[in-house]
A and B are shown apart, each in its own frame.
Chain A
Amino acid sequence: MKSKTSENDAFVTFDRVQKSYDGLSLVVKDLNLSMPRGEFLTMLGPSGSGKTTCLMMLAGFETATHGDIMLDGTSINNIPPHKRGIGMVFQNYALFPHMTVAENLAFPLEVRKIGKSEREAKVKRALEMVQMGDFGGRRPAQLSGGQQQRVALARALVFEAELVLMDEPLGALDKQLREHMQFEIKRIAENLGITVVYVTHDQTEALTMSDRVAVFNDGRIQQLAPPAELYESPQNSFVAQFIGENNTLDGLVKEISNGMALVQLDDGKMINCNPVNVTKAGERTRVSIRPERVEFSKDRMEPGAHTLTAEVLEFIYMGDMFRTRLRVAGNDNFIVKTRNAPNQVQLEPGAHVEIGWLPSDCRALDA
């Protein structure tokens, strides 16, 4: 990441950025990030983790307390927001209520002193791009949430910004519309080749839309990786917990050898794990296993793999999936997901079963 060439290729760079609002605590702590042109990057994280703050610093509405923010190689710390040329979609859309849709779209062009005929052509094209061609004469209040969303998107794109920021743009929409708009936004961003920084709470949204996801917590990026890597190989317990469903077992590292860690769980049982965040024997660790990677039948596990005995507590039929809650090594909330296939076993509460997994799916992370 830090090599000379990637530094030069970067379109957006956060270089050791810190932010404090009150001078007492840091809301953003040492943020380093660099994005190539055309990337769709999502900031994902719990409430209060500093996502909006980062976006606001990039847009110029907040100043970084320390560090540099660079756009296309030049520092923008001292450039006022209206000269940055960054498009922005707000969570509540912020469409100007006293202007029609077309006037809203013409606004950024007017302030750029673009002639009337060119303006009209651009507005028309932008509205058609979001399939709102017939709505130019309406006021924002006369549009549905999804339509307002499209207009807000068109307005952020109409002046041909290369970088577009979106702060939870789909937060107010219902599930179906959300999914549809996720697809639309992705499609338009790809067609135009723009660089997008997208903020969301919703991990599914982050995983389905992004080239890379930055998981925020406590003012830091916990992991920055493409969606699959994030899900498959979380680098720490926070990411493992935050992305997707996750089972955890606490224990002590006994031995690390051949890229394999032997962990003694708190009830004394031993299991094999993939050492991700542990380096030496004697460390406490939290072991993470995805619910769909847990196996019941011996023949699907690696030869010689350790297995654990589990008591079935609850069986939930979910249509396409079965969800089984087990007690494993003192953890009452161990979830296993199995596909509803013809030969799949349906476990009865009270039954005792052997469970196991590929050691590579079982990751020993920080405690």
Chain B
Amino acid sequence: MSYTNEDGAMLTADGQPLKRSLATALRRQKIRALLLISPLLIFVLITFLFPIGSMLFRSVENHIVAEILPDTVVALATWDGKSGELPDESIYAAFAGDIQRAAITKSHTRVGLRLNYEKSGSASLFKKTARQAKKWDLETDAPFKEKLIAAHKGWGEVEIWQTLKTHSSRYTAGYFLNAVDMRKTQDGPEFQPENRQILIKLFQRTLIMSLLITLACITLGYPVAWLLANLPRRQSNLLMILVLLPFWTSLLVRTSAWKVMLQQQGVINDILVALGMVEETGRLIMINNQFGTIVAMTHILLPFMILPMYSVMQTIQPTYLQAAKSLGATNWTAFWRVYFPQSVPGIGAGSILVFILSIGYYITPEIVGGNKGVFISNRIAYHIFQSMNWGLAAALGTILLAIVLILYWAYDKVVGIDNVKLGG
């Protein structure tokens, strides 16, 4: 009896191709596995994928103008914004109809707010106009050009119409342009005026400070992880508790504690003054600046560096060091040539973790960062809670996500993601 068919493919005893029966056998296992993880899958879908998806979408979505001022958008399509002339009566009439309907449904504030991101003053312009527009009779009160300009002289200027036209498309790259300190104009993208360029600087600062925090964590965490992995059991358990202690304390409490420590009338300054190392008048400014943010965040993120390092170091057997020494290496050579290279995957894992956590960090920079020490996430929060510019917040978030992914990819290219170990 032969177990291969004419193509040379393997067959099972009953003549089925081996591949197919294997696939059938594996399918049931797969379905069972899928059922087991389905609660988690659904949870992740609802709490993670949908929010992220909706955020990504929000960063390009721009339906407000087209939805609330539909006739105006259609009419504006025929108008040449670059001519520098005001639109003609038909466009004013279309707008009058739109603004009246919007005023009745009270949706005019949304357009006002939306256009306010692009041109300040738009919000009040829409509010005032809508109040007037409610009283108009669309049939008899024409022409609307004079009426609108009378309602608010803004309608007599070309800019507002240009802004309306530029931001009337349903999807826009405008938020992304804003996120990198540019703006959309009728002549295409151009840089924001000097005094409004802050986001690129913030991105840079976030990246550089995250890098510094990661380096500080490596420097401080490595010896601790080494001790954890090499001390006798009882002492290392105690040390482990100390390392984990911060996890059991509220983040807010820890950050506030740093405020107490670092402020000008705080513990550290008091001690330095008492020791005579610093003049009473020259107390150090260690908080509400970048220094404060780096110190507090290094402290808070340190366990995320120590734990992966520790779990990798734990797997490095002491016999490697003994072997190196028996081969003639000094303590330092044995460490540097034999121990350290084997601990690099732990450093890699810890660094990725700390870096990614830190570029998205919010609470600590908010509390101890002052003006100079805030991160891009604080700006995102500002746009969500205060300026209500969710589109820009979403674009910033998307860029942050992209940076993380690019860095992750670059790390994989340079170091190799296989070199990241969280233990084992």
Name B326's contact: one of A81, A92, A96, A97 (CB within 8 Å). Answer: A81
Residue among B323, B330, B331, B333 facing the most chain A CB atoms (10 A cut-off): B323
Chain A residues whose CB sits within 8 angstroms of the CB of B331 once the complex forms: 82
Does any Cβ of B come within 8 Å of A98's Cβ?
yes
Name B327's contact: one of A80, A92, A98, A111 (CB within 8 Å). Answer: A111
Chain B residues whose CB sits within 8 angstroms of the CB of A98 once the complex forms: 341-342
Are B327 and A59 in touch, CB under 8 angstroms?
A: no
Chain A residues whose CB sits within 8 angstroms of the CB of B327 once the complex forms: 82, 87, 107-108, 111, 155-156, 159
Are B326 and A111 in touch, CB under 8 angstroms?
A: no
Are B322 and A94 in touch, CB under 8 angstroms?
A: yes
Are B323 and A90 in touch, CB under 8 angstroms?
A: yes
Chain A residues whose CB sits within 8 angstroms of the CB of B328 once the complex forms: 82-83, 85, 108, 111-112, 159
Are B325 and A94 in touch, CB under 8 angstroms?
A: no
Does any Cβ of B come within 8 Å of A88's Cβ?
yes
Are A81 and B325 in touch, CB under 8 angstroms?
A: yes
Name A90's contact: one of B319, B329, B333, B341 (CB within 8 Å). Answer: B319
What is the bound-complex CA distance between A81 and B330, given in angstroms?
9
Instruction: Convert A325-352 into 0s and 1s, putting 1 for each residue whose CB lies closer than 8 angstroms to a CB of B.
Output: 0000000000000000000000000000
Does any Cβ of A come within 8 Å of B337's Cβ?
yes
Closest to B320 in A: A94
Does any Cβ of A come within 8 Å of B151's Cβ?
no
What is the bound-complex CA distance between A96 and B333, given in angstroms?
13
What bracket does the count of chain B residues touching chain A fall in?
10 to 19
Closest to A112 in B: B328
Q: Which of A88-127 contact B (CB under 8 A)?
A: 88, 90, 92, 94, 96-98, 107-108, 111-112
State whether A82 and B322 are in contact (beta carbons under 8 Å apart), knowing that A92-B317, A94-B317, A98-B342 are contacts in the complex. Answer: no
Are B322 and A81 in touch, CB under 8 angstroms?
A: yes
Does any Cβ of A come within 8 Å of B11's Cβ?
no
Are A82 and B330 in touch, CB under 8 angstroms?
A: yes
Does any Cβ of A come within 8 Å of B324's Cβ?
yes
Q: Which of A247-300 contact B (CB under 8 A)?
A: none
Are A107 and B337 in touch, CB under 8 angstroms?
A: yes
Does any Cβ of A come within 8 Å of B384's Cβ?
no
What is the bound-complex CA distance between A60 and B322, given in angstroms?
9
What bracket does the count of chain A residues touching chain B fall in?
20 to 34
Are B323 and A94 in touch, CB under 8 angstroms?
A: yes
Closest to A97 in B: B342
Chain B residues whose CB sits within 8 angstroms of the CB of A82 once the complex forms: 325-331, 334
Chain A residues whose CB sits within 8 angstroms of the CB of B324 once the complex forms: 96, 107
Does any Cβ of B come within 8 Å of A317's Cβ?
no
Name A88's contact: one of B326, B330, B337 (CB within 8 Å). Answer: B326
What is the bound-complex CA distance between A108 and B326, given in angstroms?
9
Does any Cβ of A come within 8 Å of B243's Cβ?
no
Does any Cβ of B come within 8 Å of A86's Cβ?
yes
Residue among B320, B326, B338, B342 facing the most chain A CB atoms (10 A cut-off): B326
State whether A90 and B342 are in contact (beta carbons under 8 Å apart), knowing that A85-B328, A107-B327 are contacts in the complex. Answer: no
Q: Which of B286-338 contact A (CB under 8 A)?
A: 317, 319-320, 322-331, 333-334, 337-338
Name A96's contact: one of B322, B325, B338 (CB within 8 Å). Answer: B338
Does any Cβ of B come within 8 Å of A183's Cβ?
no
What is the bound-complex CA distance between A23 and B328, given in angstroms?
30
Chain B residues whose CB sits within 8 angstroms of the CB of A90 once the complex forms: 319, 322-323
What is the bound-complex CA distance between A92 and B338, given in angstroms?
16
Are B326 and A87 in touch, CB under 8 angstroms?
A: yes
Closest to A61 in B: B322
Q: Which of A59-91 contact B (CB under 8 A)?
A: 59-61, 80-88, 90
Q: How far is the CB of B132 from chain A (nearest CB, A)?
A: 77
Chain A residues whose CB sits within 8 angstroms of the CB of B326 once the complex forms: 59-60, 81-82, 84, 86-88, 156
Are B330 and A96 in touch, CB under 8 angstroms?
A: no
Chain B residues whose CB sits within 8 angstroms of the CB of A96 once the complex forms: 320, 323-324, 338, 342
Chain B residues whose CB sits within 8 angstroms of the CB of A85 once the complex forms: 328
Residue among A81, A84, A87, A90 facing the most chain B CB atoms (10 A cut-off): A81
Q: How far is the CB of B328 from chain A (nearest CB, A)?
A: 5
Chain A residues whose CB sits within 8 angstroms of the CB of B341 once the complex forms: 98
Chain A residues whose CB sits within 8 angstroms of the CB of B330 once the complex forms: 82, 111
What is the bound-complex CA distance between A59 and B323, given in angstroms?
10
Residue among A60, A84, A94, A97 facing the most chain B CB atoms (10 A cut-off): A94
Chain B residues whose CB sits within 8 angstroms of the CB of A86 once the complex forms: 326
Are B322 and A111 in touch, CB under 8 angstroms?
A: no
Chain B residues whose CB sits within 8 angstroms of the CB of A61 once the complex forms: 322, 325
What is the bound-complex CA distance between A155 and B331, given in angstroms?
19
What is the bound-complex CA distance between A87 and B320, given in angstroms?
14
Closest to B319 in A: A94
Chain B residues whose CB sits within 8 angstroms of the CB of A97 once the complex forms: 342
Q: How far is the CB of B257 from chain A (nearest CB, A)?
A: 41
Chain B residues whose CB sits within 8 angstroms of the CB of A60 once the complex forms: 325-326
What is the bound-complex CA distance between A155 and B329, given in angstroms?
13
Q: How far is the CB of A239 from chain B (nearest CB, A)?
A: 31
Closest to A59 in B: B326
Chain B residues whose CB sits within 8 angstroms of the CB of A81 once the complex forms: 322, 325-326
What is the bound-complex CA distance between A328 and B350, given in angstroms?
69
Residue among B325, B338, B341 facing the most chain A CB atoms (10 A cut-off): B325
Closest to A158 in B: B327
Q: Which of A149-176 contact B (CB under 8 A)?
A: 155-156, 159
Identify the B interface with A (CB < 8 A).
317, 319-320, 322-331, 333-334, 337-338, 341-342
Pick 29 A–B contacts, CB within 8 A, sort by A: A59-B326, A60-B326, A61-B325, A81-B326, A82-B326, A82-B329, A83-B328, A84-B326, A85-B328, A87-B327, A88-B323, A90-B319, A90-B322, A92-B317, A94-B319, A94-B323, A96-B320, A96-B324, A96-B338, A96-B342, A97-B342, A107-B324, A107-B337, A108-B327, A108-B328, A111-B328, A111-B329, A111-B330, A111-B333
Nearest first, the 10 closest Cβ-Cβ pairs linking A and B are A108-B327, A94-B323, A88-B326, A94-B319, A81-B325, A98-B341, A82-B325, A111-B328, A111-B329, A90-B319
Identify the A interface with B (CB < 8 A).
59-61, 80-88, 90, 92, 94, 96-98, 107-108, 111-112, 155-156, 159
* New contact pairs (20) apart from A88-B322, A111-B327, A112-B328, CB-CB < 8 Å: A61-B325, A80-B325, A81-B326, A82-B325, A82-B327, A82-B328, A86-B326, A87-B326, A87-B327, A90-B319, A92-B317, A96-B323, A96-B324, A96-B342, A107-B329, A108-B327, A108-B328, A111-B329, A111-B333, A156-B327
